[in-house]
Chains A and B, each alone.
Chain A
Amino acid sequence: MATPTKSSTDEFIKGLWRENPVFVQVLGMCPVLAVSNTALNALAMGLATAFVLIMSNIVVSSLRSFIPKQVRIATYILIIATFVTVVDYVIQAVSLDLYKALGAFISLIVVNCLILGRAEAFASKNTVGRSIMDGLGMGIGFAFALFCLGAVREILGNGTLFDVQLFHDSFQNWVVMILPSGGFFTLAAWLLLFNWLEQRKERKAKTATLALSGEVAQ
């Protein structure tokens, strides 16, 4: 949770890595797994979510003193749903192919727990400026995570990245990576990596303090 002493740059940075919505908080899993079968889809989905997140953060935080406590969740959902409808129609107008590839999952941004979570946990308690930074950080972190998944799945499952052939023709595609189960496996692999990094950091910190206390004892 944000403390008033934190700078707004901190609010931005934390979403990218330390509190990354996907890899650390494990929020908003449905679109993460469903549309990450190619890097392009994943990136588009990530950016759409980021846009909704930033806009809803702005509106929620600027209205935070007007929204009655009892109906706040319903209000947030309506605000989010409005922006999702906007995104839905914009994507449909800009690229019909993309719209077809993402399908119902654009509408399902509404129920992405990440967005509601940020509205409730952050935007409803902080100023507009900080909420924008938070939304930017979390949104970009989310898009980045989606891209990581999508890129791995596309490279292994299709041998391409952004439709550019990466391997020699003899490369055997790992079809499973494109299929739903591949999404789970890739996500699990990324989570393992993050767990491992986290544990290594903890171990280092522990040995550092041990060494320090050892020196003090001597």
Chain B
Amino acid sequence: MMEGVAQAGFYTWDPNGVEHVLNEVLSVADHAELPYTWDGDEPATATDIGLGDVLLLHADETEFRIRFEPDDEIERRLKRFLGLSTSARYLVGTDEHGDQYEGYTATFVDLIRRLSIALEPDYVSVGHPVKDVRPSPLEIMPTEGVFEIERLPWLSVYSPSLIDQFGWTDRISASPAWKVDQLDTGAVLLIKTQEPWADVSRDHPLDKHLLDGDDA
């Protein structure tokens, strides 16, 4: 059981506007049958959503916290427009031979998949929950200038255009990851290890395959 908060960041080159994002999130919540409330007062309109406004999606044992970022002004190619976080203590691997997550972890991953199809982000990454233990989150975050991923996170999603930019078109489907899921949008969802964060090192075969072109 890991303490801390697991956060999925959603990034795009062309933000669609917070109202569109909110509507899609609510639609995904409905389809996933996750009730939702605002943590505190509900913003009067979507355009009033600010930093402290959090939408809670309620699952059986806990909830997911969704934040919208209508005004990400950091100078970089990819804009962060959505954050999905939850307590890491509920995210666990499946049994050794299982090929699907169960329970809350399955819900979390399914939510990311659904949001990735609905919102078509160019990049999604789930950071490590413990900030001073993990490798630097900046290695998996778009910061300034051209986005060059330096290390692959536990879970990530790449749009077709990002896959093309990275030169992974011919390689990504054969990635040595626990899961390689091609979404209907053409994006690819990668889950590096079955146990969340079991190995987020740069030495993982997935990193060597995609970042170094090493197939060994």
Instruction: Answer yes or no: do A and B interact.
Output: no
Q: Write the residues of chain B forming the contact surface with A, with a CB cutoff of 8 angstroms.
A: none
